[in-house]
Amino acid sequence: MKIFITLKSFLLAAMVCGATFQTYAQKNSLEREVFAKADELNDKVIKWRREIHENPELSNREFKTAEKVANHLKSLGIEVETGIAYTGVVGILKGDKPGPVVALRADMDGLPVVERVDIPFASKVKDTYNGQDVGVMHACGHDTHVAILMGVAELLSGMKKDLKGTVKFIFQPAEEGAPPSEGGGAEMMVEKGVLENPKVDAIFGLHINSQTEVGKLVYKSGGTLAAADVFRIKVLGKQSHGSQPWGGVDPIVVAAQIVNGLQTIISRQVDLTNEAAVVTVGTIHGGVRHNIIPEDLEMTGTIRTLDTEMQDIIHEKIKITAEKIAESAGAKAIVEIDKGVPVTYNDPELTTEMLPTLMSVAGESNVINTKARTGAEDFSFFQKEVPGLFFFLGGMPKGTNPADAAPHHTPDFYVDDSGLSLGVKALTMLTLNYMDQNKMNQKVKTVK
């Protein structure tokens, strides 16, 4: 009996090893096929990117971009739903074989920035933002994300007969933040049920980076990008003539002291050896004339945290600091804090599972494990619901010093088109390998 069990175990192990060897062989063949098709698509992807770059649209106003995406998906025979969370587009591609549901996401919106880059497809678009006339530019690379995912959709739709599961292509509006009275973005898309019917098992997303060299992929397991919260502090003083400050309570001086006080929260009151954190005052509005001390003032800012416990501590410290500084000057501070985008959290198990795919696609030396960053991404709303992996794609021309590359959200932001093909290959192979690996795992569990 003992010999029989041992022999049975050996045969089972041999079967599993044989299946694994066959799967790896198929993967190599599959990867070669994907690479060849992605290379064939590259000119198309670049053309789409340049068209979208030249015609950027602000958050919740991505009408032409959404129409372009929807028409493309329909032309591929993909089931399409439009108008989700204002302008969002979702395409569903059902493979001919059963398997998990994988979601892929690209954000579509531009920014109120006047482009300064000297390229033939530079944006000349003008619009209105917060009541101001502004230029509009894809100053964060969302145009590349849309073009890459359009390419992935075309590539995978051509492999439908071999696709082991279902793919949801999520083209999302308003990642940069919806107009205050509207809401939107990933949070609203989740509320509208984009991760249901069919229910998504895992989601992947990428973000091009202007200071990472073309050909490289950057990732981090766990907390990757910060939670981004908004604070508003209204300082109530007492109006007086500018020549007689003793006759009132100056909210501008109080605000200046509050700004300094807020910085000591980060430098002196939280354990930065745990995680990074940032408190930044972005706006101060008060007063109407140079010789009048105003009655009140309002400041707003952002809080970036990578740890939920630190997030709660910093929120409380901001409230105490502002209120007590104001009180000491005879003023009053009213503090409001709105929790915004959560931490972008890469599921550790999923990251470990898919890391070999990223290394195979880009080459092991080109896949970089990074530290957490204090930027924020509303991809995190999807990751709160299902396991997700969000990584960065190099867009900086080779040989450029990162210190010389313009950062995101600036007029000089630039990314090299030659980096897009790697994005197409990475998202495609993540989809195919996730489907294959999870289907195989289920079979092994059944045999056991």
Q: Are 48 and 438 in contact (CB under 8 A)?
A: no
Q: What is the pLDDT of residue 27?
A: 56
Res 181: pLDDT = 86
- Residue 87 maps to a domain: yes
> For the domain that residue 54 is a member of, what is the CATH number?
3.40.630.10
What is the per-residue pLDDT across 122-160, written as a single tens digit (0 to 9) for each?
999 999 998 899 999 999 999 999 999 999 999 999 999
Which of 341, 362, 377 represents a domain boundary (last residue)?
A: 341
Residues 98 and 68 in one domain: yes
In a domain, 2, yes or no: no
Phi/psi zone of residue 367: left (φ > 0), alpha (ψ -120 to 50 degrees), beta? beta
Band of residue 1 on the pLDDT scale cut at 50, 70, 90: very low
At 361, list the tokens: 């696609």
Model confidence pLDDT, tens digit, residues 171-188: 999 999 998 889 999 999
Position 1 in a domain: no
Alpha-carbon distance values, 141 to 85, 209, 210 (Å): 21, 8, 8
Does 107 reside within a domain?
yes
pLDDT surpasses 90 at 166: yes
In a domain, residue 273? The reply is yes
What pLDDT, on the 0 to 100 scale, is given for residue 18?
42
pLDDT tens string 250-304: 999 999 999 999 999 999 999 999 899 999 999 999 999 999 999 999 999 999 9
Q: What is the pLDDT of residues 227-243, one digit of tens each?
A: 999 999 999 999 999 99
The reported pLDDT for the residue numbered 4 is 37
Residues 359 and 293 in one domain: no
What average pLDDT does the segment 47-74 reach? Answer: 98
Instruction: With a cut of 50, say whether residue 92 has pLDDT above it.
Output: yes
Share of residues in the chain with pLDDT > 90 (%): 90
Mean pLDDT of 368-388: 96
Tokens of 144: 């590349």
Query: What's the pLDDT at 57?
Result: 98
Domain stops at, among 312, 341, 370: 341
Q: What is the mean pLDDT of residues 43-47?
A: 98
**Same structural domain, 432 and 378:** yes
The reply to whether 53 and 33 lie within a common domain is: yes
CATH of the domain at 283: 3.30.70.360
Residue 86 falls inside a structural domain? yes
| Angle of CA points 328, 330, 333, to nearest 5° | 80
Share of the chain above pLDDT 70, in %: 92
pLDDT at 15 over 90: no
Q: What's the sign of the alpha-carbon dihedral 198, 203, 204, 207? A: positive
Q: Within a domain: residue 264?
A: yes
Q: Where are the beta strands (DSSP E) in 136-239?
A: 164-172, 202-213, 217-219, 222-225, 227-236
In a shared domain, residues 294 and 422: no
Residue type, 264: T
- In this structure, the answer to whether residues 240 and 220 fall within a common structural domain is no
Query: Does 24 score more than 90 pLDDT?
Result: no
Average pLDDT over residues 325-353: 97
Instruction: For residues 125 and 249, state if they share a domain.
Output: no
Catalytic amino acids?
Answer: 109, 175
Q: Clarify whether residues 46 and 186 are in a common domain.
A: yes
What total of structural domains would you count in the chain? 2
Domain residues for 381? 7-225+343-447
pLDDT, the chain, mean: 92
- Domain boundary residue among 320, 341, 362? 341
- If asked whether residues 33 and 99 sit together in one domain, one would say yes
- Number of helices and strands (H, E) in the chain? 9, 18
Assign residue 269 a region (left: φ > 0; alpha: ψ between -120 and 50; beta: otherwise). alpha
Question: Are residues 48 and 169 located together in one domain of the fold?
Answer: yes
Query: What is the rounded CA–CA span in Å between residue 223 and residue 350?
Result: 13
In a domain, 267, yes or no: yes
Residues 54 and 203 reside in one and the same domain: yes
118 and 217, same structural domain?
A: yes
User: Residue 253: which residues within 8 A CB-CB, separation 6 or more?
Assistant: 329
pLDDT band at 439 (very low <50, low <70, confident <90, very high): confident
| pLDDT tops 70 at residue 8 | no
| Residue-level pLDDT at 26 | 52
Which pLDDT belongs to residue 28? 81
